[in-house]
Structure 1
Amino acid sequence: MPSARFFSSPSFRLSVLPEKLSLGFLWLVLGVSLVTAGCASQAVLDDAVIETQFPLVIELRDALREADSEELELLAPATHERATQAYEEAYRLAQRADDAAQNRARRGLTALSEAREQAAITADIFEDILRTRRRVIAAGAAEHATDNYRDSEAALIALSRMAEEGRVEQAKAGRQELIDLFEALELEALKTDTVARIEAAMAQAERDELEDYAPHTLKRARDEHTLALATLDADRSNKIKAENHAQRAVFHINRATGIKDIIQMFVTSDFSEEDKVLWYQGQLARLIEPMVHAPAFDEPNKVLIGALRTQVEQLVQDRNRLQLQLDEAERRFNDLVLEQQLVLEDVRAETEAERSAEQARAARFAFVQSLFDIDEAEVYRQDNDVLIRAQGFVFSPGDSEIAAVNFPLLNKVIESIRTFKDARIVVSGHTDSSGDDDSNMLLSQSRASKVAAFLSEVGGFESQRFTSVGYGEQRPIASNESSEGRAENRRVEVLIVNQ
């Protein structure tokens, strides 16, 4: 079709049009030109923009990628095809910024979900086929027999389509034929993989004319080759045994090559029979030199070989004994390392436990400290113990009765005690220096006892946890020369003793 440029060029003239062409045709041509020009100028969105504006398209793309490992193309080909086609259409629409891309992608995601459901049904129907197919892949059939393998895959897809279309019985009828086809592929792949090295080595042996130098050794190689093939024909799962035969066949071929090299050396160097024996003894001496410095070549060969074998066996025994000692030393070393690791772990655990315990203690102390205003009490930490110095406790001079004004302060003390489970509580009473010593001692003891009883009863604590003691005026915390100092000295202290 001519381009829009052609229709707008000077060479395009109405005069050159046939007379039968109408004016409507001219408008049609011009319309096509304008549409073509419009399409050419339309912007195409890149993937970054599509990802933002059309998230379902990207979701479908990622889902299809993840589905690659689920073999949906194999087990639900038609439904997977619909999902793939929906993505391609959605992506093209998204490039043109068409809102229909989201709906198309949504249909694709639905189709992909249906494909997964269908694949599960197909996998159940073709369980025996898929099991054989996995063995085929493990044997390397895809690499060694690509044409036949592709044909088998196509046959499996065809059966899957039948199952997908509801023709389940017809699909089941084709199972055995496909299993036979896959098993033949497996055998072919196993033979190719196991025997290929033998056949390549045999071909090289023929080119090197080894038959002329080592016919008996080559016969052994051929026998092993035959046994490898027979093993796979009898039981294709016995790949290890077939591989052993293959390795022995290659060994005999390589040995035949070495025999040829030695024979050719003898011929080239014009060795006499005596030279051959001396060469053999020289090779033997060179071999055992690290173990035996002076082989007894003056002894018959049978005696010599027997003596050397005895010495080698002794060396092997010594080596085995040393290996056992080394293994034992290594075991002990590993035990020591493990023991050290356990000790370090215990230390780390103990350190971590102590750190956690310290953090918990610090948190409890900070909580208790936060309960009291500065004019109510001062809270001190003494290692694991907590001292609450309640200088805000109000006692009338010479009196030990607990006034109601002290209840808020005592409630805070009770809350503090609850923070430390199973702690012992020592309540101590203190007076100022007014009055005589004996009276002050009795008064402080009375005050401590009544506070301890109050805390136990109101707080619901066991009385055995509480001890009370009076110190009178023996432990002042301020000067008794002023009324303010004497007020501070008339106090109660609560010591929370943690185990």
Structure 2
Amino acid sequence: MKTFTRNKLLIVSILLSMFYTSNLFSQDAKSIIFNDAKKAYQNAIDKRAEILSPSNYNDGLKYYEKANSAYESGDNLSDIKEYLKEAFNYFKKSTKEIDVMEVLFAETLTARDDALDAEADTYEKELWEDAQNEFKDASHNYERGNSDKAKEKGKEAYSLYRKAELAAIKSNLFNHARQLIAKAEDMKAEKYAPKTLAKAKKSLKEGQAALETERYDTDKPRMLAKNAEYEASHTIYLVNYINKIDDQDKGIEDLILRGESYLTQIGDVTGISVRFNEGSSVAAEKISTNIIILKDSIYKLSHNLNIYETTNANQRKQMAAMGSKQKEQISDASMKQQMLEDQIAYEEKVVQKFDEVFNMFDMNEANVFRQGNDIILRMTGFNFDIGSAEVKPENYLLLGKVQNTINIFSESKIVIQGHTDSQGGDSLNLALSQKRADAVKSYLMANMPDYNQSNIASVGYGESKPIENNETKYGRSKNRRIDVVIKVKRVLDTANATNW
């Protein structure tokens, strides 16, 4: 009986093994047969053929599905291959047309991508579908040879995509702020914290208005939306706090003392004793001054560390060169040794010059630091009027120090870099940053007639290289800057000194 059972189990195992092996072979065969058509299908999807060449794409999909269905049904292999050949040809045809379509509908495609980024397909489904249908009509018309009608439909699709994007941004961007404001109002914030609630509402209103007027720049609306969320959350906190105070029957003195305790805590951390006999504002100013002193100390320590590291690196190079000279007896050993020694001596001079420039500027004028082989003057004290590229007289003294720096590094290439914050359109910011960099270069050249003008260049980066958070007033003020980059050449690269 046991032998019979074991035999049954063995037969079942063999049958199962045959089934799985057969299935694996079947899957492997299918992947081979479908390989070319599947690749063409995936390529068509990647190139957005569904919307840019819908007729060919749909025909290809129809034949591909026919082939798949025929394969599952075990139909004749030659029929399956014929279906796949047709699918392959239609998919290929669709992707060939797309190269032309991407040029013809470039603006519409950009609008479509922007709408997708704003999640219009989720938040504004109806508008999104309308835009998609118009675009498909445009593509169908082009496939039929009616290019004028295709362009007309493409423009209509462009307009709908932009509407869908804007509506989605409004829904998505300001939704949380609206919810928080509504919650604050339900908590009777008009009675307990009317001023803070008013700030939240104002930021929401200004953000929505900015989105309408600055159509292609969402940085400012996004910042205002976040500020509206913050002020609304702040309102909710204040309402809860005020109600708690009422419940505990706290007086004005209790509130003042609590506020002072927070400043005392900050003072303890920064190492100063805070007193409030002259008021909280004096104590806060004392803490701020101490923080600035600490930051200045950190900056100077970083500068000294850079000098020590450079000195150590030079010493290591010298030791390595000495070892090399002792080991190598070939004819060019002394030449290599001399080149290394020249490089080390040159770098030591660079360190001395850097130290001279570092001590030339106050912290409120410029930050001076090294970045690789480059020396950066980040001109913190240089200011332009909003939207202007005119160099103001108040900047002349600082630019005089920049001139002295350029003369100290007279053999180096100089690049004046213009940077902006993120408020305003990307293209406008890029143009403005270039104008400002050009203005600084022009001023320097006008006041340095003997300087080799081919050694100085100017470039604008717009808002692409922020150094602080653009969502704060302080951060934006730091991002609106001029950087002077001194590209210190190496002795070993003298042969290439004319290259930027």
What TM bracket, shorter-length normalisation?
0.5 to 0.7
Indicate whether 1:74 and 2:51 are aligned.
Answer: yes
> C-alpha separation between the residues in 1 aligned to 2:315 and 2:29?
56
Deviations 1:416-469 (A, max 9, x none): xxxxxxxxxxxxxxxxxxxxxxxxxxxxxxxxxxxxxxxxxxxxxxxxxxxxxx
Task: Check conservation: 2:138, 2:152, Cα contact below 8 A.
Answer: no
> C-alpha separation between the residues in 2 aligned to 1:312 and 1:249?
29
> C-alpha separation between the residues in 1 aligned to 2:219 and 2:113?
18
From 246, 250, 253, the equivalent of 2:229 is 250
Where 1:96 maps in the other structure, the secondary structure is coil
> Quick one: structure 1 residues 308 and 126, their matched pair in 2 at CA, closer, same or farther if it must change by over 3 Å?
closer
Equivalent positions of 1:237-386 (< 5 A) are 237-292=216-271, 294-301=273-280, 303-325=282-304
> Quick one: structure 1 residues 93 and 209, their matched pair in 2 at CA, closer, same or farther if it must change by over 3 Å?
same
One-letter amino acid of the structure 1 residue matched with residue 43 of structure 2: E
**In the alignment, what sits opposite 1:407?**
none
> C-alpha separation between the residues in 1 aligned to 2:315 and 2:101?
55
Task: Check conservation: 1:57, 1:101, Cα contact below 8 A.
Answer: no
**In the alignment, what sits opposite 1:176?**
155
**In the alignment, what sits opposite 2:117?**
138
> C-alpha separation between the residues in 1 aligned to 2:228 and 2:139?
44
From 51, 65, 69, the equivalent of 2:42 is 65
Structure 1 residue 228, shift from structure 2 partner: 0.8
> Matched residue pairs, number?
300
Report percent identity of matched pairs. 19
Task: Check conservation: 2:263, 2:284, Cα contact below 8 A.
Answer: no
Structure 1 residue 232, shift from structure 2 partner: 1.0
Structure 1 residue 229, shift from structure 2 partner: 0.8
**In the alignment, what sits opposite 2:194?**
215
> C-alpha separation between the residues in 1 aligned to 2:271 and 2:202?
38
Indicate whether 1:49 and 2:26 are aligned.
Answer: yes
> C-alpha separation between the residues in 2 aligned to 1:82 and 1:59?
16
Indicate whether 1:83 and 2:60 are aligned.
Answer: yes
Deviations 1:381-411 (A, max 9, x none): xxxxxxxxxxxxxxxxxxxxxxxxxxxxxxx
Where 1:104 maps in the other structure, the secondary structure is helix
> Quick one: structure 1 residues 234 and 298, their matched pair in 2 at CA, closer, same or farther if it must change by over 3 Å?
closer
**In the alignment, what sits opposite 1:200?**
179
Deviations 1:320-348 (A, max 9, x none): 43454456667778x689979x99xx9xx
Indicate whether 1:98 and 2:77 are aligned.
Answer: yes
> C-alpha separation between the residues in 2 aligned to 1:90 and 1:138?
36
One-letter amino acid of the structure 2 residue matched with residue 229 of structure 1: Q
Give the structure with higher Rg (CA).
1
> Quick one: structure 1 residues 129 and 287, their matched pair in 2 at CA, closer, same or farther if it must change by over 3 Å?
same
Further displaced range: 231-240 or 297-306: 297-306
Task: Check conservation: 1:139, 1:186, Cα contact below 8 A.
Answer: yes
> Quick one: structure 1 residues 75 and 338, their matched pair in 2 at CA, closer, same or farther if it must change by over 3 Å?
farther
Task: Check conservation: 1:51, 1:58, Cα contact below 8 A.
Answer: no
> C-alpha separation between the residues in 2 aligned to 1:249 and 1:141?
23
**In the alignment, what sits opposite 1:224?**
203
Task: Check conservation: 1:136, 1:186, Cα contact below 8 A.
Answer: yes
> C-alpha separation between the residues in 1 aligned to 2:116 and 2:60?
27
Structure 2: unaligned runs, 5 residues or longer: 1-21, 329-500
> C-alpha separation between the residues in 2 aligned to 1:164 and 1:135?
25
One-letter amino acid of the structure 1 residue matched with residue 238 of structure 2: I
Indicate whether 1:147 and 2:150 are aligned.
Answer: no
Structure 1 residue 162, shift from structure 2 partner: 1.8
Task: Check conservation: 1:139, 1:189, Cα contact below 8 A.
Answer: yes
> Quick one: structure 1 residues 99 and 198, their matched pair in 2 at CA, closer, same or farther if it must change by over 3 Å?
same
From 121, 137, 141, the equivalent of 1:162 is 141
Structure 1: unaligned runs, 5 residues or longer: 1-44, 351-499
> Quick one: structure 1 residues 163 and 301, their matched pair in 2 at CA, closer, same or farther if it must change by over 3 Å?
closer
RMSD, aligned α-carbons: 3.4
Structure 1 residue 159, shift from structure 2 partner: 2.0
Deviations 1:338-386 (A, max 9, x none): 979x99xx9xxx9xxxxxxxxxxxxxxxxxxxxxxxxxxxxxxxxxxxx
From 84, 89, 96, the equivalent of 1:110 is 89
Further displaced range: 99-108 or 319-328: 319-328
> C-alpha separation between the residues in 2 aligned to 1:66 and 1:298?
75
**In the alignment, what sits opposite 1:427?**
none
Structure showing greater relative contact order (alpha-carbon pairs closer than 8 Å, 6 or more residues apart) = 2
Q: TM-score, length-normalised on structure 2?
A: 0.53
> Quick one: structure 1 residues 332 and 62, their matched pair in 2 at CA, closer, same or farther if it must change by over 3 Å?
farther
Further displaced range: 268-277 or 234-243: 268-277
Task: Check conservation: 1:220, 1:249, Cα contact below 8 A.
Answer: yes
**In the alignment, what sits opposite 2:398?**
none
Q: TM-score, length-normalised on structure 1?
A: 0.53
Task: Check conservation: 2:272, 2:287, Cα contact below 8 A.
Answer: no
> Quick one: structure 1 residues 320 and 271, their matched pair in 2 at CA, closer, same or farther if it must change by over 3 Å?
farther
Where 2:275 maps in the other structure, the secondary structure is coil
> C-alpha separation between the residues in 2 aligned to 1:301 and 1:151?
59
One-letter amino acid of the structure 1 residue matched with residue 250 of structure 2: F
> C-alpha separation between the residues in 2 aligned to 1:265 and 1:336?
65
Deviations 1:210-240 (A, max 9, x none): 2222211111111111111111101221111
> C-alpha separation between the residues in 1 aligned to 2:190 and 2:295?
37
> C-alpha separation between the residues in 1 aligned to 2:274 and 2:87?
83
> Quick one: structure 1 residues 71 and 220, their matched pair in 2 at CA, closer, same or farther if it must change by over 3 Å?
same
Further displaced range: 82-91 or 240-249: 82-91
One-letter amino acid of the structure 2 residue matched with residue 65 of structure 1: Q
> Quick one: structure 1 residues 296 and 103, their matched pair in 2 at CA, closer, same or farther if it must change by over 3 Å?
closer
